[in-house]
Chain A
Amino acid sequence: GESVGLHLPTLSVQEGDNSIINCAYSNSASDYFIWYKQESGKGPQFIIDIRSNMDKRQGQRVTVLLNKTVKHLSLQIAATQPGDSAVYFCAERRFSGTYKYIFGTGTRLKVLA
């Protein structure tokens, strides 16, 4: 498949354990934060988003936490499965006349059997 990043930070997690993927952002004016998952050879796939006035949002097996004080975002995956192995990106939505999306550089998650 396509290589999306040769030197990405990598998180290795045992199957069944919980995973926590972190992201720092820079712009306090961003109104939404979004997580995407990218499997090898594929385009990114939306996971979950959170509005900037929230500090937690839960989805199916995933939880996103937002700490605006330290400009930090995290994605927690419960009971990590082999199918969760991928690169995970956080993104910010900013308004400057129109909406733009700024993506982070990504974290590779490896699930160990």
Chain B
Amino acid sequence: EAQVTQNPRYLITVTGKKLTVTCSQNMNHEYMSWYRQDPGLGLRQIYYSMNVEVTDKGDVPEGYKVSRKEKRNFPLILESPSPNQTSLYFCASSPGTFYNEQFFGPGTRLTVL
């Protein structure tokens, strides 16, 4: 089944404890992206990647890191999480930037205490 998977789906952590949210897609997509979703603010893009080893900042990159060592994986790293990073996170992928249809994962609910 073609899909985008994220792990974990739910995470409660404490301020300053490094964490990684994994994202994997099995569709051989070139483009991958991370979004956060907050009430009243909609979806905001954190980072995106056009292809392996090519990443770029979205609108809200502060406090996050990403890497794209393999085409299928695009992990989101929070080196020192803070409470304002409590949010619902979505990973998405698409065949390339000429395709507007992004396929979204199921989301990761992160709470930072």
Contact = CB atoms under 8 A, between A and B. Distances in A.
15 contacts: A2-B109, A4-B39, A5-B40, A42-B106, A43-B4, A43-B104, A43-B105, A44-B102, A46-B103, A93-B100, A100-B58, A102-B45, A103-B42, A103-B44, A105-B41
Chain A interface category by residue count: 20 to 34
Which DSSP category, helix, strand, loop or mixed, fits chain B's interface?
strand
A101 B45 contact: yes
Contacts of B40: 5-7, 105
B53 to A, nearest CB: 15
A93 B48 CA distance: 14
Contact of A7 (B39, B50, B90, B103): B39
A3 interface: yes
A100 B101 contact: no
Interface string B82-102: 000000101010000100111
Chain B interface category by residue count: 20 to 34
Contacts of B37: 4
Contacts of B42: 5, 89, 103-106
A98 interface: yes
A5 B44 contact: no
Contact of A49 (B4, B88, B101): B101
Contacts of B106: 41-43
Contacts of B90: 43-44
A46 B42 CA distance: 15
A55 to B, nearest CB: 17
